Amino acid sequence: MRRILYLLLFPLFLGCDNMLDVEPENAITFTNFFKTEEDFNAALFEMELFFRYKPFENECMAYRGMQADLITSSSYKDQRMLNQVAIINGTFMNDWGNHYDVLYTANVILDNLHRGEEVSEEMKIFYTGQANFVKGFIYFDLARKWGDAVITRNSTSMEVYARSGVMDVIDEAIRCAGEAYRILPIYEQMPRVGLGSWISKQYGCKGSATALLAHLYAWKGSMIDLCGFVGDAEACYEEATKYCSELIEKKVGFYELEDNVEDICTKAMYGMGRSKETILEFELDETQEYPMAYFPGRIMISWPVEKTGTPSEIKNKDIVLKASTVKKIYETKDLRREEFFFKLDSMSHDTMLVVNDGYAYPYKWRESVYQNVSWSETPQFAYCKANYCYWRLADIYLLRAECYAKLNDDRAVADLNKIRGRAQASLYPAVGETDLQKAIFLERSKELIFEGHRYYDIIRNGLDYIRTYLDGNFKTLTIEDIKEGALYLPVADGAFTLNNVMRQTIYWSRYE
């Protein structure tokens, strides 16, 4: 049945570069399809297939903010330095068509629920919640990556779409996420939907919808503060702390910090039903020809995770971090120093410089799969066995701490120290610490290193952080540049096809 649905959807994707041109969609195709739960399950699985990779297929925002000492890829370097001409003329950026493909599949489900004559009301509510969770996440991602974006009406409209303002896109994300939060069950009560057992945390549940709302309100408040948009930033931070608290207090499902730092690596970063800390994971699909979950840290993995490699191969990675930098980031007694990096001290000894140039070996992801190949007598590294852990409870503790700090609420310290305590790092305030907001930002950088959050963390903390912690042309941006879209991606050419109301972001139009 899933193959049938894919064959129905595939011509529609071929018919337009993205869902924003004016090619008509053929709703009649689905008239005789959406009748049973099996039909809707097929549509749900198709949406989840797209959801697990399309938003991240050609990711670049994560690498703008990732801590690194050397960037060997010119495309990554252009993004990190905000080299405007190279970015506007380059191909290394998400074309938002991928995002609108996901939105389209979600809208197909919502637009055809009325056809489900053999579907129970309980399952219709479940499908509605899943589609709204996906829509909420995608609009959130659009707002963070492109700012102003298109809010589509449904899966059948033939109208030409213009971009809506970034605050409207955020509000649409909040609306969709709020609907998912309202109607979805907690993770522990999720239906199996034809599966033998329920372990996937990619599907929306009340807990993941809560995390989405927490991040949405934190982002909305930060955009009000940064850009001077109309709105109440403090009220947004209050909402963010409320949703964070629901997760921390187990009101929306059972989520708990892993017991120690090693378990972060062996359980949370692995996922697949192993972790009590993860909230949202994007699944590794091992049925694909080239499996690999799209977690940002994957591009930094080398030996010893790739056991068939050699220690010297670290020098060939696109992004690398020196061991000396890692030693400055973490205190000697901080357990993350040794768990997140393989034998940091011994592998950075002077005798190793000729081998690795002093670079550290990321060890946050550890399990690998090996396959037979024609050119070797021994199996070779094929892929890292891990889901993409997108949100985990440590992130939520530190997000609440950040929002508390912005509200001048002393409860921020307890949340910060909850994460420091697990790592056996010095509690706040350590010697020389006086800026709580900065301490929380730096703690997120330590705890969530290589997980892809740091660029957005920098933006949420304001202009001084942008100029301090980002490189190149980011350091000279003005508030006016930011209001005009400098922190976002330019809109790619495909969005302008057959659409005479589409407009390039003001900042990026200067470099076309």
* C-alpha–C-alpha distance, residues 407 and 191, integer Å: 39
Q: Locate tokens 């740091």: which residue? A: 454
- 429-461 residue pLDDT tens: 999 999 999 999 999 999 999 999 999 999 999
Question: Which pLDDT score, from 0 to 100, does residue 192 have?
Answer: 81
Q: At a CB cut-off of 8 Å and minimum separation 6, what does 294 contact?
A: 52, 53, 56, 57, 59, 282, 388
Question: Which pLDDT score, from 0 to 100, does residue 193 have?
Answer: 78
C-alpha to C-alpha distances, 215 to 228, 242, 368, nearest whole angstrom: 19, 11, 31
* C-alpha–C-alpha distance, residues 255 and 244, integer Å: 11
**For residue 12, is pLDDT > 80?**
no
Q: Which domains does the chain have, with CATH numbers?
A: 2-57+73-184+490-509 (1.25.40.890), 296-385 (no CATH)
* C-alpha–C-alpha distance, residues 286 and 387, integer Å: 10
DSSP-assigned letter for residue 259:
S
Q: Which of 14-28, 184-198, 292-306 has the highest mean pLDDT?
A: 292-306
Helix, strand and coil content of the chain, in percent to the nearest 5, comes to 55, 5, 40
Would you state the structure tokens that stand for residue 265, as one six-digit string?
């690596």
φ, ψ of residue 336 in degrees (nearest 5): -65, -25
pTM listed for this prediction: 0.94
Please give the angle made by the CA atoms of 415, 419 and 425, to the nearest 5 degrees.
Answer: 120
56 vs 24: which has the higher pLDDT: 56
- 170-183 residue pLDDT tens: 999 999 999 999 99
E strands, 6-78, in order: 70-71
Supply the mean pLDDT for the chain. Answer: 92
Q: Which of 353, 296, 298, 295 is nearest to 322 (CA)?
A: 353
Q: At a CB cut-off of 8 Å and minimum separation 6, what does 308 contact?
A: 370, 378, 379, 380, 381
Question: Which pLDDT score, from 0 to 100, does residue 47 have?
Answer: 96
